[in-house]
Chains A and B, each alone.
Chain A
């Protein structure tokens, strides 16, 4: 019997949490890591941790916050350990087919393709901390206080990083208007 053999209850809990959070976690990894393959790997690592944790925790556990924090730490570790990949990562040109994306909704169509590319480009240019606070606040929807708690910094510091990130990212939208 393997180490990760789980009983039906644990398996159903894992599956339930996985289904509920998989897309969100993958997207967070894509936001915080430049390489899409590494983002996929990081997401897998997060769910492996979830698999292990699901054996010890109950269904009522705050999985959303826990997963976000684990994703944050996993991406941070990967960013730290993969500094040497900088050259390769920056020059990589992956095909669009590697990134399955759904058709944009009519609302999304308002933002042009160029603007979207520009927003992502500017987001990539933000500091790691600014990327973290922006994603947690405006992509994930956590409050400033919750973000501060997750990152272990003050709410004031979060606001400072957040405002700088917003000011920087709005340039992409202003450029088109």
Chain B
């Protein structure tokens, strides 16, 4: 005798489906035959019970009803906890500072407003230098040519045949 049939196969047989081999198995196997008969009885009972009026709702969904009764209670509890936490938070915020904390805060404020700007923007080490009082373009150009002014060599600008050289135009305009 081969292995017993699965519930799905037995159910398919009850629906008039299934193979002839499966049906032959049920006919020859007392265990599967008993299961098949049990399935047929169960289906009959299920259909019969569901043709009747439903019993009381409370009996139908005991777990869900319990969940629903607990849900508002949990919601109220969470809301209360949030309210208490918010109150405590506000209380801590509005508490007067102890002298020690006040001194610490004052120290921090002084450090941030006095010492940091002094360290960052100190001008004590600066030596006043001589800046040209009236620096003209020509003075800058001369300084650059003498190498005394930081300057980078410039590549001659590339032009196409159609475009006139902007540098020569500049010389034409201002040099003469």
Chain A interface (Cβ within 8 Å of chain B)? 27, 30-31, 34, 36, 87, 90-96, 99-101, 104, 107-108, 110-111, 113, 115-117, 119-121, 123-124, 134-135, 138-139, 144, 159, 162-163, 166-167, 169-170, 173
Contact = CB atoms under 8 A, between A and B. Distances in A.
A108 B52 contact: yes
B60 A120 contact: yes
B53 A93 contact: no
B87 to A, nearest CB: 30
Contacts of A90: 61, 64-65, 68
B60 A100 contact: no
B59 A117 contact: yes
B133 interface: no
B109 to A, nearest CB: 54
Interface string B57-90: 1111110110011000000000000000000000
Given A121-B60, A166-B43, A101 B50 contact: no
Given A163-B8, A167-B7, A31 B53 contact: no
Given A90-B68, A117-B59, A30 B15 contact: no
B116 interface: no
A163 B57 CA distance: 26
Interface of B: 7-8, 11-12, 15, 17, 39, 42-43, 45-62, 64-65, 68-69
Contacts of A123: 50
Nearest to A94: B57
A134 B51 CA distance: 12
A29 to B, nearest CB: 11
B97 to A, nearest CB: 48
B54 A36 contact: yes
Contacts of A119: 46, 49-50
B65 A124 contact: no
Nearest to A95: B56
A117 B53 CA distance: 11
A99 B58 CA distance: 14
12 contacts: A30-B53, A31-B50, A87-B68, A90-B61, A90-B68, A101-B53, A107-B48, A111-B49, A116-B55, A124-B60, A138-B43, A170-B46
Contacts of B56: 93-96, 117
B45 A111 contact: yes
Contact of B15 (A93, A120, A159): A159
A107 B41 CA distance: 12
A139 B60 contact: no
Given A159-B12, A166-B43, A166-B46, 13 more contacts: A27-B51, A31-B50, A36-B54, A90-B68, A101-B52, A101-B53, A107-B48, A108-B52, A116-B52, A121-B62, A134-B46, A138-B47, A166-B42
